[in-house]
Amino acid sequence: MLLDAAQSQLVLVDYQIRLVPAVFESAAVVGNAVRLGKLARLMGVPVWGTEENPSRLGENLPEVRALCGRTLGKMQFSAVAEGLGEWLRPPAKALQGNARSLPRHLQKPASQGERDMIVIAGCETHVCLLQTALDLLEDDFDVWVVTDACGSRTERNRDAAFDRLAGAGAELVSTEMVVFEWLRSAAHPNFGTALALIK
């Protein structure tokens, strides 16, 4: 299955000022996160951010925070435990109507799950990203982990998280895989701009 921009949302996990300097290959990780955020905005894909214990670890880096429509401050490692799932899949609105409305059995149900492809990247891969992604899988989202935009303090912890996520059913992808799957074709009107982001 390929990613579809119209079905996708992007979650950028904990690229925080006091955490990122300790992350293995942090410059590349942050660079890819920013590319993803810029591409998502270009393609109309909602972008969400999370920050773990921001009073201690600081806010997300300004270049990441600026790309997020909303940022969730949290104390639990899984952002889903703090309400991220409700942001990604808001509760269906109750049907409105009066006595002259169509009978309930003829009314179209409110659409749910329109954007169930969750593209996720962040720090630390083996803690907050892992727990958030596993909870999203449990909540029946399709989860795509962008490996080159994820980081941990050690390579071993990062790679152990990737193994566990793949075993749990997450798709492991790269930034360029996301770019070209969202575009689907060189004829896409945003192809040139997107290509410039990754070169």
Dump pLDDT digits (tens) for 135-149. 999 999 999 999 999
Residue ranges making up the domain that contains 130: 5-86+115-198
Would 177 be classed as within a structural domain?
Answer: yes
Residue 75: other Cβ atoms inside 10 A: 11
Distance CA 45, CA 41 (A): 6
At 174, list the tokens: 């790269």
Phi, psi of 125 (to 5 degrees): -55, -40
Asked, for residue 162, whether it belongs to a domain, the answer is: yes
How many structural domains is the chain composed of? 1
Give the tokens for residue 186.
Answer: 């060189």
Instruction: Return all residues near 6 (Cβ < 8 A) that are at least 6 apart.
Output: 44, 115
Percentage of the chain beyond pLDDT 90 is 85
Read off the tokens for 104. Answer: 């309930």
Average pLDDT over residues 7-35: 98
Residue 153 lies in a domain: yes
Task: Give mean pLDDT, residues 25-33.
Answer: 98
85 has a pLDDT exceeding 80: yes
Q: Rounded to whole angstroms, how far apart are CA atoms 90 and 187?
A: 33
CATH number at residue 189: 3.40.50.850
Q: Please check whether residue 51 is in contact with residue 16, taking contact to mean a CB–CB distance below 8 angstroms.
A: yes
- Residue 144: per-residue pLDDT: 98
| 94 has a pLDDT exceeding 70 | no
Residue 21 lies in a domain: yes
pLDDT of residue 110: 44
Q: Evaluate whether residue 92 is within a structural domain.
A: no
In a domain, 14, yes or no: yes
In a domain, 60, yes or no: yes
Q: Which helix (H) or strand (E) holds 168?
A: helix 155-168
Token pair recorded at residue 21: 């300097």
Is the Cβ–Cβ distance between 114 and 9 less than 8 Å? Answer: no
In the prediction, which pLDDT does 24 show?
Answer: 97
Q: What is the pTM of this model?
A: 0.89
57 domain residue, yes or no: yes
d(CA 139, CA 160): 22
